[in-house]
Amino acid sequence: MLNKTQFSADFFKKLPYKPFCSFGKGGKTLIRSKKHAIQYPLIQVNHVHTVQYLIFDIDAPDAYLHFFDENLPVPTWIAKNKKNGHCHVCYELKTPVCKTANAKLEPLRYLASVEYTYAKKLGADLRYSGLLTKNPVDRDWEVTLLNPRPFELGELADYVDLETKPKKTENEKNEVSGLGRNCMMFDVVRKWAYKAIRACLGDGYDSWYQKVLNMSLDANGAFLDPLPYSEVKATAKSIAKWVWRNHTSADFHAWFGAKQSNRAKIGVSKGNVSKGGKARSAKYSDVRQEALKLHIVGKSIKEIAEYLKVHRNSVSKWIKNPCTSAT
Q: What angle do CA 168, 171, 173 make, to 5 degrees?
A: 45
- Residue ranges of the domains in the chain? 4-157, 187-247
Residue of 46 and 169 predicted with greater confidence: 46
Q: Convert the pLDDT of each residue in 147-184 to its tens digit.
A: 989 999 999 999 999 987 665 554 444 455 666 777 77
Question: Is the pLDDT assigned to residue 210 strictly greater than 60?
Answer: yes
CATH architecture of 187-247: Orthogonal Bundle (1.10)
Q: What is the reported pLDDT for 172?
A: 47
Q: Give this prediction's pTM.
A: 0.56
Q: Is the Cβ–Cβ distance between 43 and 30 less than 8 Å?
A: no
Q: What is the reported pLDDT for 215?
A: 82
Give the integer Cα–Cα distance in Å for 102 and 180: 16
Give the integer Cα–Cα distance in Å for 67 and 86: 13
Give the integer Cα–Cα distance in Å for 324 and 327: 9
CA proximity to 244, closest of 277, 272, 207, 291: 207
Q: Convert the pLDDT of each residue in 223-266 to its tens digit.
A: 767 788 888 888 888 888 888 887 754 545 555 555 555 544 54
Range 32-40 average pLDDT: 94
List, in sequence order, every beta strand (DSSP E) within 106-186: 133-134, 141-145
CA proximity to 31, closest of 10, 226, 15, 22: 22
Residue of 102 and 228 predicted with greater confidence: 228
Cβ-Cβ contacts under 8 Å for 258 (sequence gap 6 or more): none
Range 102-120 average pLDDT: 83
Give the integer Cα–Cα distance in Å for 281 and 275: 10
Question: Is the pLDDT assigned to residue 42 strictly greater than 70?
Answer: yes
Q: Is the Cβ–Cβ distance between 147 and 75 less than 8 Å?
A: yes
Q: What is the reported pLDDT for 318?
A: 75
Q: Is the Cβ–Cβ distance between 152 and 102 less than 8 Å?
A: no
Question: Is the pLDDT assigned to residue 326 strictly greater than 80?
Answer: no
Asked which of 44-58, 96-110, 115-129, 300-314 is least confident by mean pLDDT, the reply is: 96-110
Q: Convert the pLDDT of each residue in 262-315 to its tens digit.
A: 544 545 544 444 444 545 555 566 677 667 656 654 567 887 888 778 888 888
CB atoms within 10 A of CB 27: 12
Residue of 125 and 275 predicted with greater confidence: 125
Question: Is the pLDDT assigned to residue 137 strictly greater than 80?
Answer: yes
Range 4-10 average pLDDT: 91
Give the integer Cα–Cα distance in Å for 234 and 103: 11
The CA distances from residue 217 to 70, 98, 159, 225, 226, in Å, are: 37, 20, 36, 13, 9
Q: Convert the pLDDT of each residue in 63-97 to its tens digit.
A: 888 999 999 999 999 999 999 999 999 999 999 98
